[in-house]
Structure 1
Amino acid sequence: MTPDLIQRHPRIDALFDLHSERFGKDQTPYRNHIYRVLNLVASQRPLSEEELDQVAIAGFFHDAGIWLAGTFDYLDPSARLACHYLEEQHLESWQPTVKAMILNHHKVTRFSRDNLNLAEMFRRADWIDVSLGLLRFGLPAARIRRIRAAFPNAGFHALLLKLGGQQLLSQPWRPLPMLRR
C-alpha cells in the first residue's frame, strides 16, 4: 500500500511566503517540483517527522540559489542559504544531512551504497523528476504518474531548458556547472 501524497508542508509554505517575490512567475513550477521530489523521497521508505522536515527544507533550498543568489551554479549558494535558515531555526544539528541532500542532488553516480540514506533517496527523487520518470530507481511507474498528476509540471522543464540555454550562451565551457560525478 502506497502512502498518501503530501499535499502541503508548513516549512515549504512558510519559506515561499518569505521569498515569494524572488520567485515571481517561477514559483508554481518550482513549488510543484519540490512537492514532487518530497513525495518521491517519501515513496522510497517511511520517513520520521524529523526526516520529513529535513527533506522539506532541502527541497525548498536545493535549487533556490537560482533565484535567491542569482546564479545557475547554485549548489553551494543553495547549501549556504539552507544552513543560514537552519541556524535561524536553531536546527544546526540538521546541517550535515540537509547540506548533503543539496550538494549531491545532481550527482550522476550514487551518493551512498545505502539506498535508504536520505541524501541518496533525495538524489534519486530529483533525477526521477528531472527525467520526467524515465529514471525510476525501482519506484512503480503508477506512483510516479500519480505524483506528477497531483503536482503538474507547470513549465518547470521548460524553465530548466531556458536557464540551461542562458548558461550555455554565457559560459559555453561550463554548460551544466551543477552536475557532479
Structure 2
Amino acid sequence: MNPVLEFPLTDEILTEFALAIGTDLQGYRNHVYRVLNFYCAISDLQGLPCDAVQIAAAFHDLGIWTDNTLDYLPPSIRLASEYLDTKQRPDLKEHVSALILEHHKVRPYRWAHATTVEPFRQADLIDVSLGRVRFGLPRALIKTVQSTFPDHGFHAMLIKRSARQFLRSPWRPLPMFRW
C-alpha cells in the first residue's frame, strides 16, 4: 500500500487553526496524516476515508492548542461541532463526536459507529506508540508512513505536555484516556 499523500478536507480544517497550533502545525499535520493512513490500512480502504473520519482526524487533538490542556477531548469535540454547524453538516455530529471521544479508549470500542471508531482508535494508538503497537499492520508499512510523514517534534511535544500535566495534577496525569 502506498501512503495517501493528500487529505484536502483535513488540510482545509488544519489551515483554519494554523495560528492556534503555531510551531507544532507540521508535527500535528503529520500525526493526523499518519493516523489517516493507518486507518486506511486497517480498514483495507482504497482512497479517502469518509468525511466524518477526515473531519475527526483534524479535530481529534486540537484542544491541546486551542485550550492549552491535555484534557482536550471536550474542547476538540466542541470545535468539531462548531465546524459542522458552520458547514451545515449536523448529520455528522454524533459520528465525529464518537470518533474524537473514543480515540483514547483503552479497550476496544463496540458501540455506535464502531466500524469507523475502532479502526480510528487503533490507528491513533499505532502512531502514539511509534509503531510498537501494530494491530496486524506490517512493520514495513508503518515505517513507510512514518518516513513519508516525519514526526517533526510531535511526540516530544506530547511528552513535554504530559510531564507538565503530571506536575500540576499527579492524581490525573493523562485525563484524555477513557476506560
Q: Which residue of 2 aligns with 1:60?
A: 58
CA RMSD in angstroms comes to 2.0
Q: CA deviation at 1:46?
A: 4.3
User: How many equivalent residue pairs?
Assistant: 179
1:143 lines up with 2:147 in the alignment: no
Report how far residue 25 of structure 1 moved.
0.8
Report runs of 4+ in structure 1 exceeding 6 Å deviation: none
Identity of aligned residues (%): 44
String of CA shifts for 1:114-147, please: whole Å, max 9, x gaps: 9x71000000000000001110111111111111
Letter in 2 for 1:146: T
Letter in 2 for 1:102: I
Contact 2:126 2:132 in 1 (8 A): yes
Correspondent of 1:126 among 124, 135, 139: 124
- Contact 2:4–2:47 (Cα < 8 Å) also in 1: no
Deviation at 1:174, TM superposition (A): 0.7
The whole-number CA distance in structure 2 between the counterparts of 1:125 and 1:170 is: 29
TM-score by length of 2: 0.93
Partners of 1:146 and 1:63 lie apart in 2 by: 23
Q: Judge which range, 16-25 or 147-156, deviates more.
A: 16-25
Residue deviations 1:15-48, cap 9 Å, x none?
A: 2221111111111110000000000001112448
Secondary structure at the counterpart of residue 16 of structure 2 = helix
How far apart in 1 are the matches of 2:11 and 2:57? Answer: 12
Deviates more, 1:118-127 or 1:43-52: 43-52
Q: Which of 65, 72, 79 pairs up with 2:77? A: 79
Q: Out of 157, 160, 170, which is 1:159 matched to?
A: 157
Using the alignment, how far apart are the partners of 2:69 and 2:6 within structure 1? 28
Structure 1 length normalisation: TM-score? Answer: 0.92
Structure 1 runs not aligned, ≥5 long: none
Report the AA paired with residue 176 of structure 1: L
* Contact 2:35/2:127 (8 A) holds in 1: yes
